Amino acid sequence: MASAPRIGVFLLVVGVVAASPVRAQGVESAALSRALDLEGEGKCRDAIPFFRAALGTTSDPAGALYGLERCVSEAGSPDTLLTIIDSVLVRRPRDPVARTIQLRTLVNAHRDAAGRLAFEQWVTAVPGDAAPFREYARLLLDAGLTRTADTVLTFATQRLGSGRQVAAELAELKGALGMWEASATNWRQAMTYAPYLEASAVFVLGAAAGVARDTIRGVLAADPTDLPVRRILAGLEMRWSSAREAWNALKVVAPDDSVLDAWLEFAADAEERESWLVARDAYAGVLRHRRTAALLVRAATAALQGNEPASALAWSDSLATWRDTSQAATITLVRLRALGQLGRAAAADSLLEQRGSTLDPVTRGDAVRAVAWAWVRTGDVPRARATLARGGEESDERTTAWMALFEGDLKTARTGLRRLDEFSSEAVLALSVLSRTRGERSTGIGDAFLALARSDTVAAAAGFEMAAKDVADASPLLLAISARLFRATRDSARAETIWDGLIAAHPASPEAAEADLEWAKVLRQHGNGSAAIARLEHLILTYPQSALVPQARRELELAKGTIPP
């Protein structure tokens, strides 16, 4: 009988002991939740007591400490926060969150001596730990106190035996001091334990200029070839140079799953930047190890967008026998467009005959228009019209308007293109010409645009120059377009002759100021500064109301060397 109460007491004790943490945890989470709710409602002052309550009951005070830091800083009383932190540190002298907040508060309050003391106490509390050095150095760097950060990191190197554990902070410091080689070396080291800092490395090193960039390249490109380091180099090349150089930096890493994922991410980034051929090459790199129809289509599409229809066709041809039929329609369309760009209109026509019936109506319409454009690129507009008619797409407003333009029917083209929501550079150019003239027909303008559609820039440039003689009301604009195209083909001499004639014959036209500006830019590029200055001065003095004057003034400063290049 005597044992029954004892068992009862024992069970009660066990029950209390078992329930206590649960209840405490409940109290803690309730206080923290209440504090966070109040903070969310903008009642920071009211939240402080709840954060403090949560701090008193929890075994992991991080959430409550951060909340207190936010709210107490907002209330503008760092001393209150420091008192709370001191009490936490009495119980938990090694707590990294409390130590960090203490340091941050002191540094932000410019209490340098107290900050230094708090740092030294933290170092003593956690001998051999890099955290105090990292946090303090980072805070000092953020505050622009590079010299003190240098002292702290030198101290860290002595205490920890090497600078390896504070490499990221050293890297940032060296970057801030312009010591680029040392910074790049430290970033290399930091990548071994903190690869997530890649973006920081690109940000810091990206500020280097001139010859320092080659030094950084040398450090990051040295063996061994690690993915995180190469990603930094690729990020820098993307910023300094080109997507092509970035891919060159990344492609040399030995492929494994994570490397292939990095290449895919890079390819998508290159697509976004419209570096289509680099994207294609990155996809091709992945395809050598991970072959899927979707990736093949993306590679072919990127090639097509990059005006490399031959490789697009090769990619899509390799898919023609692919067993995955989910991509069949897309593949057909890519092949048709590739054939069109290659000027193989007959082959495109034939492919449409073979596969047209397997396509859904929308894709089929796209396919018919692709073949029609293929005929346009061969210069055969009647065949293009016939293809549209055969495919039931002759009423397509966009294609009809463009066909009319190619045939010199300016009236129909003007009406059709104005109705479209097309913002391609070609459409903008066509509309600018059509708006400038009241003429209804011009074979010259049609031929010039058709040459552009055939990607024959030289013929187009000559065509616009010829057309300028026939279409008087749009003459200066046509000459300006012609000069622009000649310049694009690197025939600057011809462009300069046209600009010269344009300025002389149409001095009151808006294109005259543009001609001066473009001409000056070419002259400056060719090292003829004095002639460039003369052109720019002519522009500013002759067309003081032109919207191009601010741009001309800037070019003038650059030509005279009065501002940094």
Partner 1 sequence: MAGYNSVRRVLAAVIACAAFAPVVGAQHLLVPMDDRQTNHLKAYGLIFNALRDGHKSEWFLNYRGGSFLLPDIAEMRRRAALDGISFEALDNGRVTALRAEIAANNMDAVALERAPKIAIYTPPKAPPWDDAVTLALQYAGIEYTAIWDDEVIAGDLTKYDWLHLHHEDFTGQLNKLYLGFRDAPWFIEQRDRGLDAARRLGYANIPALKKAVAEKMRQYIEQGGFLFAMCGATETLGLAIAAHQTDIAGSFADGTPLDDNADQRLDWNRAFAFQNVHLEQNAFVNSMSDIDGHQVNVAGRRQPLGQFSLFSFSAKFDPVASMLVQNHRQVIPDFYGVTTSFTRQTLKPGVVVLASEEGAPWVKYIHGDYGKGSWTFLGGHDPEDPQHNIGAAPTDLSLHPGSLGYRLILNNVLFPAAKKKPLKT
φ, ψ for residue 124, nearest 5 deg: -65, -35
Radius of gyration of the chain (CA): 35
Cα–Cα distances in angstroms (integers) from residue 61 to residues 77, 79, 532, in the given order = 20, 19, 68
Q: Residues 207 to 266: which contact partner 1 by CB under 8 A?
A: 207-209
Question: Of 94-102, 129-137, 482-490, 541-549, which part binds partner 1 (CB under 8 A)?
Answer: 541-549
Question: Of 247-255, 447-455, 464-472, 550-558, which part binds partner 1 (CB under 8 A)?
Answer: 550-558
Nearer to partner 1, 354 or 562 (CB): 562
Nearer to partner 1, 153 or 376 (CB): 153
Question: Of 20-28, 59-67, 466-474, 553-561, which part binds partner 1 (CB under 8 A)?
Answer: 553-561
177 touches partner 1 (CB under 8 A): yes
Q: How far apart are CA 438 and CA 443, in angstroms?
A: 15
For the chain, what percentages of helix, strand and coil (3-state, to nearest 5) are there? 80, 0, 20
Site string for partner 1, 106-125 (x = CB under 8 A): ------xx------------
Q: How far apart are CA 293 and CA 482, in angstroms?
A: 43
Smallest gap, in angstroms, from Cβ of residue 184 to partner 1? 14
Short-list 140, 173, 521, 416, CA closest to 513: 521
What value, to the nearest 5°, has the Cα angle with vertex 246 and ends 243 and 248?
Answer: 115
Per DSSP, 409 falls in state B
Nearer to partner 1, 184 or 462 (CB): 184
Give, to the nearest 10 degrees, the angle between helix 112-125 and helix 131-142. 160
Nearer to partner 1, 498 or 549 (CB): 549
Contact with partner 1 (CB under 8 A) among 15, 42, 49, 144: 144
396 touches partner 1 (CB under 8 A): no
Owner of token pair 């559609």: 453
Contact with partner 1 (CB under 8 A) among 147, 289, 291, 469: 147
Nearer to partner 1, 209 or 488 (CB): 209
Written as one letter, the residue type at 434 is L
131 touches partner 1 (CB under 8 A): no
Q: Residues 282 to 301: which contact partner 1 by CB under 8 A?
A: none
- Other C-beta atoms within 10 Å of 207: how many? 13
Nearer to partner 1, 371 or 540 (CB): 540
Nearer to partner 1, 136 or 464 (CB): 136
CB neighbour list of residue 10: distance below 8 Å, 6 or more residues apart = none
Number of residues interacting with partner 1: please give it, by CB under 8 A.
Answer: 31
Largest interatomic CA distance in the chain: 124
Structure tokens at 427: 């459409």
30 touches partner 1 (CB under 8 A): no
Are 294 and 319 in contact, with CB atoms under 8 Å apart?
Answer: no
Contact with partner 1 (CB under 8 A) among 118, 156, 540, 559: 540
Q: How far apart are CA 45 and CA 35, in angstroms?
A: 10
554 touches partner 1 (CB under 8 A): yes
Contact with partner 1 (CB under 8 A) among 131, 160, 182, 260: 182
Question: Of 175-183, 260-268, 305-313, 321-329, which part binds partner 1 (CB under 8 A)?
Answer: 175-183
**What torsion, rounded to 10 degrees, do the Cα atoms 166, 167, 169, 172 define?**
170
Reported residue count of the chain is 565
Contact with partner 1 (CB under 8 A) among 46, 380, 491, 537: 537
Smallest gap, in angstroms, from Cβ of residue 103 to partner 1? 14
544 touches partner 1 (CB under 8 A): yes
E strand residue ranges, 400-441 = none
Are 476 and 498 in contact, with CB atoms under 8 Å apart?
Answer: no
Structure tokens at 534: 């003369």
Smallest gap, in angstroms, from Cβ of residue 473 to partner 1? 31
Structure tokens at 364: 């089929």
Nearer to partner 1, 113 or 493 (CB): 113
Smallest gap, in angstroms, from Cβ of residue 192 to partner 1? 23
Contact with partner 1 (CB under 8 A) among 148, 301, 327, 387: 148
Structure tokens at 450: 């058709």
Where along the sequence are the contacts to partner 1 (CB under 8 A)?
A: 112-113, 140, 144-148, 150, 176-179, 182, 207-209, 537, 540-541, 544, 549, 553-554, 556-557, 560-564
